[in-house]
Structure 1
Amino acid sequence: MTRPIEQAATGTIFGVALNYHSQLDHKLAEFREAPYKAPPTKPVLFIKTPNTRNRHEGSVVFPASCERLQPGPSIGVVIGKKASRVKKDGVLSYVAGLTIVNEFSLPEDSFYRPAVKAKCRDGFCPMGPELVELADIADPDQLVLKLYVNGELRQEGSTADWVRSIQELLVDITEFMTLNEGDVLITGTPGGRVDVKPGDQVTVEVSGLGSLTNTIVAE
């Protein structure tokens, strides 16, 4: 069963950085150096503020003051009911369903402290077009994500490469923070982010969830 994402994803949008081995492993040597000295042991979170909300077929503005812009194919977990200190058994009962997210960002220097200026520009978080209930998804841990720019495949990954599953993320996060109905948890982006430019058409395709398309326009 599906429904328009605007009806379901009405709350706060939280992102998880470094949740794909293809991205984390590439950074391990850097994380062992100062100032980090060790890779993260818990989910690295950031927020996509309300002004970042965007939709299927909406335009994403390339800021005039910036040189580069990167899409971030991802899967959004939409919370279906209040979740606080949940246990792993039965944790998926707190999930209303999944949707496609394209988590746009300017290139980042720090993954431990994602920059608000890089993440929270207007329209930098297209979602949708629909919420797909978990019952209609064969295996959330085996979904394939593909990013197309002007019809050309530019990035690909699988949720089999997740560092933490949906269950593990919800257990870790709700240990210290309550998630409410309508909140969205962006589960990360595979390694290999690419640059896009004004005029590009960007599509995220996820097996079982459909596709999300946006056009990049100059400011």
Structure 2
Amino acid sequence: MTRALHDVAHGTLLGVALNYQGLLEQRLAEFEQTPYKQPPVKPVLFIKTPNTRNSHQGQVIQPRGERLQAGPALGVVIGKSASRVSLENALAHVAGYLIVNEFSLPEDSYYRPAVKAKCRDGFCALGPELVPAAQVADAGQLTLELFVNGELRQQNSTANWVRNVPQLIAEISEFMTLHEGDVLITGTPEGRVDVVPGDRVEVQISGLGRLSNSIVAEQEPRP
């Protein structure tokens, strides 16, 4: 990660689960069961801890004996503190946008995301650069593409979000302050792709560039 990007995206990495219509629809039957009884009515959030931070061209380690999945997402970088902001004023708190690859082991529960699945070292790649908010006409009309070794493996659009950027900022800032430098990860679409050591994994979002990472195997522990 370049120093300039770290300077502006240095805060909490806050992820939003189930923010694509297709993914939510796949889980509706599950949410009708005990203990949930209904789909979530507020954003389902999780944290990517500081050790997960990774950069453009960084390596991502696949843990031994585990499946590793890529997670293409749009990242929203907060430019000034947001507390109880309105929908109308929410975008005034956005500094810009970047690409995120939110790596994870397969998830068993979206209501209680597993720390061991989401928070491994290097599991949140950010980059390649911050694109100022003024240069993105509509964050809700962007195409996301995931390439593995140059082959297109996943494609979706932010037009399929459950909640757009102003809605997310307004709803989250109702109960917690978003600070300058925080990164809001707006969710990964349905159809997560497994990746393995030796793979080159790239996320491209229209107008934001292309984030590239390589997958490597976890080394055997030293005796």
User: For this structure pair, what is the TM-score category when the shorter chain's length is used for normalisation?
Assistant: over 0.9
Which blocks of at least 5 consecutive residues in structure 1 are unaligned? none
- How far, CA to CA, are the matches of 1:187 and 1:82 in structure 2? 18
Q: Which residue of 2 is the match for residue 83 of structure 1?
A: 82
Provide Cα deviations, 1:6-38, integer angstroms capped at 9, x if missing partner: 221001100000000011111111111122211
Q: Which residue of 2 is the match for residue 13 of structure 1?
A: 13
Please state how far the C-alpha of 1:67 moved relative to its aligned partner. 2.4
Q: Which residue of 1 is the match for residue 192 of structure 2?
A: 193
Aligned-pair identity in percent equals 67
Kindly report which structure 2 residues correspond to 1:14-163, keeping only aligned pairs within 5 A, or say none: 14-64=14-64, 66-163=65-162
Q: Secondary structure at the match of 2:85?
A: coil
TM superposition score normalised by structure 2: 0.95
One-letter amino acid matched to 2:177: T
Please state how far the C-alpha of 1:85 moved relative to its aligned partner. 0.5
Q: Secondary structure at the match of 1:15?
A: strand
Kindly report which structure 2 residues correspond to 1:163-174, keeping only aligned pairs within 5 A, or say none: 163-174=162-173
Provide Cα deviations, 1:138-173, integer angstroms capped at 9, x if missing partner: 211100000000111111110000000000000100
Instruction: Indicate the RMSD between aligned Cα atoms, in angstroms.
Output: 1.0
- How far, CA to CA, are the matches of 1:156 and 1:35 in structure 2? 33
Q: Which residue of 2 is the match for residue 205 of structure 1?
A: 204
Which blocks of at least 5 consecutive residues in structure 2 are unaligned? 219-223
One-letter amino acid matched to 1:89: E
8 Å Cα contact 1:4-1:128 kept in structure 2: no
Paired residues in the alignment total 216
8 Å Cα contact 1:73-1:101 kept in structure 2: yes
8 Å Cα contact 1:99-1:132 kept in structure 2: yes
One-letter amino acid matched to 2:145: K
Following TM superposition, the consecutive aligned residue runs of length 4 or more in structure 1 with deviations greater than 4 angstroms are: none
TM superposition score normalised by structure 1: 0.97
